[in-house]
Amino acid sequence: MKAEIHSLFLDLALILFLARLFGSIFQRFGVPAVLGEIFTGLALGPSLLGLVEPNVILKLLAEIGIILLLFQIGLEVDIDQVKKTGFQSLAVALIGAFLPIGLGTFIGHYFMNLNVTASLFIGGTLAATSIGITVRILRDFKVIETRAAQIVLAAAVIDDILGVLLLTVLFEFAQTGTFQFFSTFTYIFYILTFFLLAPLAAHTIALMIDFLARKLKTYEFIPSTILSLIFFLAYFAQRFGAPEILGAFTGGIAFSRRFVVPFAASLRVSTATVTSVKSVIDPLIFIFTPLFFVYVGLEINLKALELSFYLLLYFLIFSLVALVSKGVAGFVIKGTFAERLFVGLAMVPRGEVGIIFAEFGRISGIFDQNVYTVMIAVVAFTTLIAPFMLKYYLKKTEMAYA
């Protein structure tokens, strides 16, 4: 037991250092850090060096990391922006989600001869746009304040919400093995009820924390309180039949400075409290979230992968579906051709959202090693290529976005 603990300390030392190192190196060359973290897992795991093996403790730490990441994503949701862009963002999100779901499911079922569940998980992996990576790209290019960029951000938020709900339904379908309309409708109703009520409950707690902080003139009790709330919402979501990440996501929305309790516009969390929450969450995310993506790399064994012409072919097909389906979605907005194509390209990166979907597919036993690796490769490819496509396109067209 003692030897195992010592080995865990060594594993964490290697993972934390190398994840940050490779993440920074990848960023230096304009590649999202998340891919550097996955590469770290590949390098340390059975694919290359075999120095670190996946275990229960690393898995637990990885799950904490993804729960905190979803809380941060919820924290950055701009509900007002979603309202302002209205129908256009909704149209981009719906087409950008359901088109890849439909195409991915069709190809998986009729060409790869996979069952319906696995095919739906392939479609789901291709569906969601990573709001975290998208925000980073738009900030780096200094175009985040433009109308087209705001449509992209609102659509990415809707995509995330649809993605989490879809993941919840598919996960339930994978467990039962049957699709019954009434029970599924009831299940979705429960999830939507939780999604509507959890932010209100969490926001009430946020207002109480805000009140106590101002009365006590201290924010020192906020860190432990926030973490307790995040873990409680994750637990409550699971008890409600939803993934833990949905609880964390709704909690982040509740603590957002932009979230307002309906019919009570004055009930906002103070800027000081939100700043305090961010100051607590950001360092934890900086440490824990890379563990999730490293763990994804550790779970992949490239040596055991049966490379074949068909595997490469499906990677190319799904990559094409991932690119074209999001590109088409951009053309539903009103605006110039340049703006429409910009929206489509900005919706391409899947990032952590697609990885979460693929990981759930693997954990559920829905994806075998080959399908899982192909989907991770597609997610990595879209995440990698999006910044370069946008940079090239903006430079080529000399669009006045900056």
CA distance 258 to 383: 28
| The token pair that represents 192 in the structure block | 């939507």
Helices first, then strands: H and E counts in the chain: 15, 0
Output the pLDDT for position 270.
60
Question: Dihedral of the CA atoms 341, 342, 348, 353 (nearest 10)?
Answer: -140
pLDDT at 265: 39
Residues 390, 137: contact at Cβ < 8 Å?
yes
At how many degrees (to 10) do helices 369-397 and 337-346 cross?
150
Assess contact for 343 and 327: CB atoms under 8 A.
Answer: no
Q: What is the pLDDT of residue 400?
A: 46
Contact 290/37 with Cβ under 8 angstroms?
Answer: yes
Model confidence pLDDT, tens digit, residues 346-401: 888 876 677 778 888 888 788 888 888 888 888 888 877 877 787 777 777 665 44
DSSP string, 372-386: HHHHHHHHHHHHHHH
Q: So what's the pLDDT on residue 334?
A: 82
3-class state of residue 76 by DSSP: coil
Q: What is the DSSP letter of 337?
A: H
User: What are the structural domains of the chain?
Assistant: 2-397 (1.20.1530.20)
Residue ranges of the chain with pLDDT lower than 70?
Answer: 1-4, 76-83, 131-133, 135-137, 139-140, 144-145, 164, 168, 172, 174-188, 190-191, 194-195, 198-199, 218-221, 240-243, 246, 255-276, 304-306, 351-352, 397-402
Over residues 215-273, the pLDDT tens digits come to: 777 666 677 777 888 888 888 777 766 667 767 777 777 766 555 444 333 445 566 66
Could you give the CA distance from residue 50 to residue 303 in angstroms, rounded to a whole number?
Answer: 11
